[in-house]
Amino acid sequence: MASSEAAAGRVDTASTQLFIRQTSGLVRELGIPAAVGISLASVAVVNTFINFNAGLTDFPKADMYLPLVAAAVIWLVAMFAYRYLLRAVPRAGGEYVYLSRVVSPAIGAMAGLGIAVVFTYVLSTNAHFAAQFTPFMLTGLGLAFHSTAIANAGNHFGSNLSIAWLSVILMLIVAALSLFKVKIVARIIFWLIVLQLVAFVSLIAILAFKSHADFVTAYGSFSHHPGAYQATITAAHANGVLFGTSIASAVAIIPFMVLNYNGVLYSYYVGGELRRPGRTYLYASTISILVLVVLWVGVWALLRARAGLTFMQAQANLGVINPTAYAKITSLSSVSGGLGYGLLLSGDPITKILFATAVPFAEIAVNLAFVTVTTRVLFAQAFDRLLPVGVAKVGDRNHAPNVAIGIVLVIGIAFCFLTSLVALGSIVALQSLFFALILLAGGVAALFLPLRRPDLIELPGASEDARKSFLRKAAWVGGATTVLALFTVYELVAHSSVYGKFSWESILTLVIVLGAGPVIYVIARSVRRQRDSLDLSLAMHELPPE
């Protein structure tokens, strides 16, 4: 027997009551804390310490304060664009749904299939990244267990072939874990994220409570060379490493920082579950962006104070420019960044183990999440009949999407070998550009919303003028996001030597990735029409209510 209750009357005056009937199902139950959790969990927090190091390698004279804040501003503007899209299409499915409904199904297919391909590639790059950290992990574990054998074992994993195999092993671990029931996979991701956060907080604490002198001593002690700190800087000078800071470098690295924030707006992917979606999404995203700005600016300030900017620039670049000279000074992995500094400063085995294993655990967590997201994107394409329905088949025993997981992982493992053994860099160099284009897609969808689908925006009780004003704002914010995304794209193109070289291979790859969706859509539609099957264009056909 259904029962009824007075709900909003508890908090509002009698004139604005809402009576809710007890029925099954959830209606927009996720509040701001849950949405903040979703946003922050979508950003690989522990990578912060490594990404600064990578940024200094690519842009030696970049100080991170301006890029961190500028990139946050770009995401804040984009956040408003997605807010309007969420207002128009509350049960969101990301760019695929936005573009399909607001622009056209073919353009939506471009985003959908492109995202699936690029996300699969990202799986392999994450695995490759974690494999590269194996020597650092073994160094850390060796220090924790006082075992030279473990520490030296890292020397056996430097070749491309061994990194390829390590990447494959990591992918197989992800594959095995993905085949568990969804609930178990969620628990595994949860605990891996907990470990990541514990490592992150421990690292901040160690950096906060140790001094610059402690760091210099610890680095010297680890390197068995009391003057290792100064020797690293001197060697970097001799090898032409650039020191100091410049505005031009800070501006050029903004797209890199934009990519670091990628995921911070992901609560819109669960737009259908958010309580008062527009408001909740806005608050949650703002809080998440602010948390990240404060955290990352704070971490950067700590790293500058403890290790010193000059040393960080020297260490990051010497290891790349002249690895032999770097290896003569220290055995600390040059790519380890802040994690490596924390490892040197930590005095107990527990934190050493945490820092040593942070990257592999983080990447396994990220890859498990990516497998879920990528299979969902494949599902959406299969349900829209762009891919065979069998792709979305759920296993009878484990209730997992075995076929989709299999496809994603087979392609991912192939990418692992290609990434490690072939000069795939030139082919997939435009991966960064693709992610910037996704941001551009969001801006364009918001810009086109008032022009193509003003009917999707309804403001109950508001006058027509207020509605038009709302639509104008959506266009302005969409336009601003488009401009900022274009700026990001421009910077990526202008600094292609760092972000990805333009070669016939890379351009062809991008064209294939972007073109695959529309081509498959057109082919699938024409084949179905020839067979007298249901027309694919009906899938997103707007039904007239009158």
In whole angstroms, the minimum distance from the beta carbon of 172 to another protein comes to 21
Of 92 and 514, nearer to another protein (C-beta) is 92
Of 333 and 381, nearer to another protein (C-beta) is 381
Distance CA 89, CA 97 (A): 8
In whole angstroms, the minimum distance from the beta carbon of 126 to another protein comes to 16
Q: Which amino acid is at 298?
A: G
Distance CA 299, CA 301 (A): 5
* Residue 104, helix vs strand vs coil: coil
In whole angstroms, the minimum distance from the beta carbon of 450 to another protein comes to 17
Distance CA 349, CA 142 (A): 10
How deeply is 485 buried, as exposed, middle or buried, from its count of CB atoms within 10 A (0-12, 13-18, 19+)? Answer: buried
Listing DSSP states for 329-377 in one string gives H--S-TT-HHHHHHHHH--SHHHHHHHHHHHHHHHHHHHHHHHHHHHHH
In whole angstroms, the minimum distance from the beta carbon of 176 to another protein comes to 18
Of 393 and 473, nearer to another protein (C-beta) is 393
Of 465 and 532, nearer to another protein (C-beta) is 532
First CA to last CA across the chain, in angstroms?
35
The closest alpha carbon to 229, from 305, 316, 307, belongs to 307
Torsion of CA 370, 129, 291, 209, to 10 degrees: 140
In whole angstroms, the minimum distance from the beta carbon of 462 to another protein comes to 8
Of 153 and 182, nearer to another protein (C-beta) is 182
In whole angstroms, the minimum distance from the beta carbon of 370 to another protein comes to 13
Distance CA 226, CA 341 (A): 16
Chain center to CA of 62: 22
Of 224 and 541, nearer to another protein (C-beta) is 541
Distance CA 186, CA 73 (A): 32
Give ∠ CA 344-350-356 in degrees, rounded to 5: 55
In whole angstroms, the minimum distance from the beta carbon of 373 to another protein comes to 10
Q: Tokens at residue 480, please?
A: 């601003």
Distance CA 392, CA 378 (A): 7
In whole angstroms, the minimum distance from the beta carbon of 82 to another protein comes to 16
Question: Which residues are bridge partners to 6 per DSSP?
Answer: 19
Of 62 and 274, nearer to another protein (C-beta) is 274
Of 227 and 388, nearer to another protein (C-beta) is 388
